[in-house]
Amino acid sequence: METTLPLAQTVANPFTHRRSPARLWEGAFRWAIRLGAYAVLLAAACIFLQIGIKGGQTVFTSHWPFVNVAFFTEKPSTLYVFDWQGQKLELSDPQFRAFQAKHPGVDLQPETYAHSAGGILPCIVGTALLVAGSMTIALFLGVASAIYLSEYSRPSAALRVIRLAIMNLAGVPSIVFGLFGAALFVTYFQWNVSLLAGWFTLAFMVLPVVITSSEEALKAVPQGFREASLALGATKWQTIRTNVLPYAIPGILTSSILGIARVAGETAPILFTAAYVVRDNYPWEVDKWTDFFFQPVQALPYHIYVVSSKIPQNAYTERMQYGTAFVFLGLVLLISLGSVLLRLRLREKLKW
Amino acid sequence: MKNSLSMEETPTAPPPTAAPLAIPSPEAIEVERLDFFYGDFHALHGVNLRVPAHQVTAFIGPSGCGKSTLLRCFNRMNDLVPGARIGGGSIRIHGTDINRPNVDPIELRKRVGMVFQKSNPFPKSIYENVIYGLRIQGRAKRSELDEVVERSLRQAALWDEVKDRLDESGLGLSGGQQQRLCIARAIAVEPEIILMDEPCSALDPIATSKVEELIFDLKKHYTIVIVTHNMQQAGRCSDLTAFFYLGRLIEMARTEKIFTNPAEKQTEDYITGRFG
């Protein structure tokens, strides 16, 4: 067997491509990882296109004002489909009643489809309220814990236990949070299925994310600011308030973006604690202001769940499913975009 | 009440006579048989030292010799380091033992200012940087602020360079200007002692010489302790020099004497560059 390499004299280009197992593997592996990366793109495109196209048909209309206004301003209602003078009419509950009143004595023999007409305003409002309330609680508790952990606490056994608890909390499945909320807030505190119970359940769910990222944000503030402030005779809290927290806020906001998307999206935690299939009143229609906190709400993810699995399926419910999903995605994107812009503006102001 | 008391005792610059002190003493800082530990590591071994008022005292020595540790004992910044503790001995500032339980480190730091190795202006305007100390001490009187800012920046030899852009961020200044801004910030609260931890180590030679001139001028109003790696710097701007090696004070004397005729062999070896 020839073992010597071809010499420069005998081969014109000694560095020419040569087949070898290593080169084959190189090519194969490069393609494998490339396909992996493109699969992500494919999955994202499929999801967004599917929801965009199907949901877009519900949300947008072909005539002025090009947006299905009723979908954003009405409650979900039953759809009535019937033939009238050779035409097929699709009316929502209030429209059908008005029609009946105009034509008394006529038996219209409509087919009815639950939850397939009207809009999703109560769900949008409910989700917005759930996000606002739970994020307020989560940010307050989370930032407070993060400040304690990163600025005040000294290494100790208790601290290790706290950190372990935070890590474990992050690994708890959301349905378990739902059960916990149902047991503690709904049953034991007797808050019933209510906005307040949902707020606290969701807040505890995102707490680990908020704490961990807030702590990172606080740690990223240069130590020099703290030292300079303390050396001027500031107390610890003065130092944190004036020279640590303000510079950590962009980072804390980043963490809350993740929190918002999760709070808005989770169905399991609100299943037993805050969400109702249908509510006759809007959240602001309460007798006493205290009732506001103790009322259940409708929510977008729960509504998708209901219209996708709790009612008979047909072409009309599909419109609601995709329309709701479309609005839901849009809402989460909008909130995220807002947080990113806010963060960018703050970053701009606080560069070091 | 405490605040107004400390106001009276603070020498308003420039003091016509020696500032009235709690216990009249020509020594600003007296260190006696000080032992200091980081956990199990014995960082300072029985250090005895006297820092006279209105003089510039330089601490020199190779890295890890304990000079910065000692400096940070003077305003109890070591309190912030987990595991750091004083093992024995005492530090008196103007006659008061600063490690007694009834000494509030916050009150101490109002009187013993510090300038750090890495210039660390806050990401606020130059103006806000200078008055930060007054603001958090609750001493900021609106009518006096402009005056304090001008006086402090003038003392820090920075006024002419920044007087037209006091509203701009302190981080927009050059490295040397930032360090002088930090000095202005430290002197705005009118401390009695200013501790400087290698204030010029991150500066270029021109900025360094400006800060050194400034240090020389500041000793009229303040007692200054400066830690430096740079022996020429100690030679140029200090009145007294203390040489540390492996956690021990080897020698302390007038700067001229240390540099021309040191008593200890180790000092001579270090100064002539044979080690360190």
Counting residues of chain A whose pLDDT is more than 90, the rounded percentage is 38
Q: Residue A226: in which H helix or E strand, if any? A: helix A223-231
Q: Report which residue type is found at A202.
A: L
pLDDT given at position B276? 56
Q: Please name the residue that has the structure tokens 């700067």.
A: B255
Mean pLDDT of chain B: 86
Contact B124, A228 (CB under 8 A): no
Instruction: Select the residue of B107, B118, B137 nearest A224 (Cβ to Cβ).
Output: B118
Chain A CB contacts of B113 under 8 Å are: 231-232
Contact B180, B200 (CB under 8 A): no
Say yes or no for a CB contact (<8 Å) between B122 and A155. no
Percent helix / strand / coil, chain A, rounded to 5: 65, 10, 25
The domains located in chain A, with CATH, are 121-314 (1.10.3720.10)
Q: Report which residue type is found at B238.
A: S
A223: phi then psi, degrees, rounded to nearest 5: -60, -30
Q: How far apart are CA B122 and CA A243, in angstroms?
A: 7
Sign of CA dihedral A295, A299, A305, A310: positive
Of A306, A304, A322, A300, residue with least CA distance to A58: A322
Instruction: Select the residue of A227, A232, A352 nearest B133 (Cβ to Cβ).
Output: A232
**3-state secondary structure string across B211-232:** HHHHHHHHCCCCEEEEECCCHH
Question: Mean of the pLDDT values across residues A47-68?
Answer: 86
pLDDT of residue A134 exceeding 80, the answer is yes
Q: What confidence tier does B112 reach under pLDDT thresholds 50, 70, 90?
A: very high
pLDDT of residue A351 exceeding 60, the answer is yes
pLDDT given at position A153? 87
DSSP notation for B75-110: TTGGGGSTTEEEEEEEEEETTEETTSTT--HHHHHH
How large is the ipTM?
0.84
Chain B CB contacts of A228 under 8 Å are: 116, 120-122, 182, 185
Say yes or no for a CB contact (<8 Å) between B80 and A227. yes
User: Would residue A115 be called left, alpha or beta, if left means φ above 0 and alpha means ψ between -120 and 50 degrees?
Assistant: left
* Residues B96-129 as b or e (16 or more Cβ within 10 Å = b): eebbeeeeebbbbbbbbbbbbbbbbbbbbbbbbb
Chain B CB contacts of A249 under 8 Å are: none
Query: How does pLDDT run across A187-208, given as a tens digit for each residue?
Result: 899 898 899 999 999 999 999 9
Say yes or no for a CB contact (<8 Å) between A238 and B136. yes
Tokens describing residue A92: 């929502």
Query: How does pLDDT run across A273-308, given as a tens digit for each residue?
Result: 988 888 888 888 888 888 888 988 899 999 999 888
Residue of B nearest to A235 (CA): B106
Instruction: Select the residue of B106, B118, B123 nearest A235 (Cβ to Cβ).
Output: B106
pLDDT of residue B22 exceeding 60, the answer is no
Residues 165-224 on B with a CB inside 8 Å of A are 171, 182, 185-186, 189
Counting residues of chain B whose pLDDT is more than 70, the rounded percentage is 91
Contact B179, B197 (CB under 8 A): no
User: Would residue B61 be called left, alpha or beta, if left means φ above 0 and alpha means ψ between -120 and 50 degrees?
Assistant: left
Chain A CB contacts of B121 under 8 Å are: 228
Q: What is the pTM of this model?
A: 0.79
Q: Please name the residue that has the structure tokens 């204030």.
A: B199
Q: What confidence tier does B16 reach under pLDDT thresholds 50, 70, 90?
A: very low
DSSP character at residue A194:
-
Q: How far is A242 from chain B (nearest CA, A)?
A: 9
Question: Mean of the pLDDT values across residues A26-47?
Answer: 94
Question: Mean of the pLDDT values across residues B269-276?
Answer: 80
Counting residues of chain B whose pLDDT is more than 90, the rounded percentage is 53
Q: How far is B182 from chain A (nearest CA, A)?
A: 9
Chain B CB contacts of A224 under 8 Å are: 116, 118, 120
Q: Which residues contact B130 (CB under 8 A, 6 or more apart)?
A: B148, B149, B152, B153, B181, B184, B185, B188
Query: How does pLDDT run across B206-218, given as a tens digit for each residue?
Result: 888 888 988 988 8
Q: Which residues contact A179 (CB under 8 A, 6 or more apart)?
A: A272
Say yes or no for a CB contact (<8 Å) between A224 and B116. yes
Higher-confidence residue of A16 and A302: namely A302
Tokens describing residue A101: 């009143």
Chain A within 8 Å of B80 (Cβ-Cβ)?
yes
Contact A332, A260 (CB under 8 A): yes
Instruction: Select the residue of A155, A225, A235 nearest B122 (Cβ to Cβ).
Output: A225
Tokens describing residue A84: 């009238």
Of B18, B27, B74, residue with least CA distance to B52: B27
Residue of A nearest to B186 (CA): A232
Tokens describing residue B159: 């006024």
Contact B233, B65 (CB under 8 A): no
Chain B CB contacts of A350 under 8 Å are: 123
Q: How far apart are CA B126 and CA B132, in angstroms?
A: 10
pLDDT of residue A11 exceeding 70, the answer is no
Q: How far apart are CA A238 and CA A298, in angstroms?
A: 43
Q: Report which residue type is found at A215.
A: E
Number of Cβ atoms within 10 Å of the Cβ of B164: 8
Q: How far is B185 from chain A (nearest CA, A)?
A: 8
Q: What confidence tier does A310 reach under pLDDT thresholds 50, 70, 90?
A: confident
If DSSP codes are grouped into helix, strand and coil, which group holds residue A23?
helix
Say yes or no for a CB contact (<8 Å) between A224 and B123. no
Query: How does pLDDT run across A137-150, given as a tens digit for each residue?
Result: 999 999 999 999 99
Chain B CB contacts of A232 under 8 Å are: 109-110, 113, 132-133, 136-137, 185-186, 189
Chain B CB contacts of A154 under 8 Å are: 82
Q: How far is B119 from chain A (nearest CA, A)?
A: 8
pLDDT given at position A59? 86
Cα dist from A299 to A196, A250, B117, B158, whole Å: 14, 29, 55, 60
Q: How far apart are CA A199 and CA A136, in angstroms?
A: 9
Question: Mean of the pLDDT values across residues A149-170?
Answer: 89
pLDDT given at position A282? 84
